Amino acid sequence: MKKMIKTGMSGKKIVSKTNQLKTLVSLALVIVLVLSTTACQNKEDTADTKDEGTISNEITTDLPEASRDESATSESSAVGKSDEDTSYMDTTDSMDAAEAVSTSDSVSETTYSDTTQPEIRPEPQYGQLTAGEWNDNENFDYFKNVINNNDWYDMQAHWGFTNWERYEITVMNEEDRVISGATVIFYDEQGQVYYQIMTDNKGVAYAFPYINQEEDIQNTVNLKVEYNGETYDFGDASDISGDNQYKLVIPQNATRNSDVDIMFVIDTTGSMADELAYLKKEIQNVVTEVQNQNANNLNIRLSINYYRDETDEYVVRSYPFTTDIDAVVEQIGNQWSDGGGDYEEAVETALMDGITGHNWNVDAGSKLLFLVLDAPPHHNDNTLTTLEQIVSLTSEMGIKIIPVASSGVDKETEFLLRFLSLTTGGTYVFLTDDSGIGGSHLEPTIGDYQVEYLNDLLVRLINGYIQ
């Protein structure tokens, strides 16, 4: 799908992938190889002259490593990055060509032979990783078309998400002001509650009451709303649009709770090594920036947790919610990647710990859980049961799951992450190849999207969910 161009607040611009850049890089490599061959021939031809002290005009290949890196890329300025102008190039063929993407004056030294081109890796700092975002609730018709496609239809049963009957519910007061943090309850004709969900900061709840069932179990939709200790029973609510959209009006003042809980759950297995150092810098910046932008208006608590797999040094390393942002930033820097072994990891265990093992503020105006990973959970009956519980609990507690898909994610994992974000009112975030960092990133099955710097994207999302 077409990628749009996004210019960040810093004035840096991410350049979309083009064939011209590929041609430039290939041409630069040919020139370097020709010059290198010529230089070797010149050395032989001018050896006697050099012994006599005559100055030679040959091109030297005996530069220090940093200088060799610079001269190898000087012919192709389009792939470099300066403080004033930042460009990114197509990295699809990064295993076949030298692709220099530098984000600072300091780069890691890379030794190479005459037949091996250098791979220059930028020093980890924020504002380097690139990402896109896709909200399936805002593009629900598109999602339904995709999931009913023969190529992806089986993803539903594979992960146990089988019924996409959705109800878009808005709770407002009599002055048409939205009510956030209201609990919307679905109940049957016998009065038994079978599903509940909380409205977000915009007073909206996207409800999927039958998500794990083959068919709807109710002929009518009976709803009631709980807010500020009061219950308002709407019985068989009227469908106001003919498309499962409901507007529920209650006689309450619209108040906004300034408390916000934000959690990151991060995969730290060995396969994350290519991007974890960069992700740590990005998340540190996000945490600091969100706090700085909202310190006077909101009370923000953070919890950052890490997970690996069942036989590793730890399965889940949990940290409680805290308002000490500096401690959180320091704690992130102390983590490293290791373990894993097979492709699947303990994703569902980490999510369940994040949801039930922490003291989420029941009254918080917003509750966000970012899941950063590059692999799915182990696929078995226990996992599917746990995933069903996770969706039910997060809906009931008002926690939005926002996945951040890293390199290594396959199609099955993409759809699981989109299912989780869709059913909890979150959005799907995915890293892209535009940064040139890490392994290859899967192109998701979505429409047009903008490429942004990951830290800017996450700050934008968080502010959108909490303000």
Cβ-count burial of 137 within 10 angstroms (0-12 exposed, 13-18 middle, 19+ buried)?
Answer: middle
pLDDT at res. 440 = 92
Class (C level, CATH) for 130-158+257-466: alpha beta
pLDDT at res. 215 = 67
Domain boundaries, the chain: 1-123, 130-158+257-466, 162-250
Distances (CA, A) of 168 to 51, 198, 201, 245: 84, 12, 14, 5
Token couple for 285? 């910046």
Element (H, E) at 135: none
Which strands form 167-173's sheet, in the order they lie side by side? Answer: 204-207, 167-173, 245-250
Q: What values do phi and psi take at 302, rounded to 5? A: -125, 145
Q: Which CATH number fits domain 162-250: 1.20.58.2030, 3.20.20.140, 2.60.40.1120, 2.40.50.140?
A: 2.60.40.1120
pLDDT at res. 194 = 93
- Asked if the domains at 130-158+257-466 and 162-250 fall in one CATH topology, the answer is no
pLDDT at res. 220 = 76
Q: How many CA atoms lie within 13 A of 294 on its CB side?
A: 24
Distances (CA, A) of 372 to 22, 45, 220, 232, 406: 30, 58, 39, 38, 7
* Angle (CA) 411 412 417, round 5°: 95
**What whole-number distance in Å separates Cα of residue 397 and Cα of residue 198?**
7
pTM: 0.76
pLDDT at res. 310 = 87
Handedness of CA 232, 238, 240, 243 (dihedral sign): positive
pLDDT at res. 146 = 97
Please state, as a whole number, how many other Cβ atoms lie within 10 Å of the Cβ of residue 414.
Answer: 22
pLDDT at res. 160 = 95
Report mean pLDDT in 10-residue bins for the chain, 467 residues. Answer: 46 41 47 50 44 34 31 31 33 35 33 42 87 98 95 95 94 95 94 95 96 72 94 83 86 90 93 85 92 88 94 93 90 79 89 98 95 95 96 97 95 98 98 94 96 97 93
Q: Which of 447, 456, 457 is nearest to 4 (CA)?
A: 447
Q: Which of 413, 368, 421 is nearest to 137 (CA)?
A: 421
Element (H, E) at 79: none
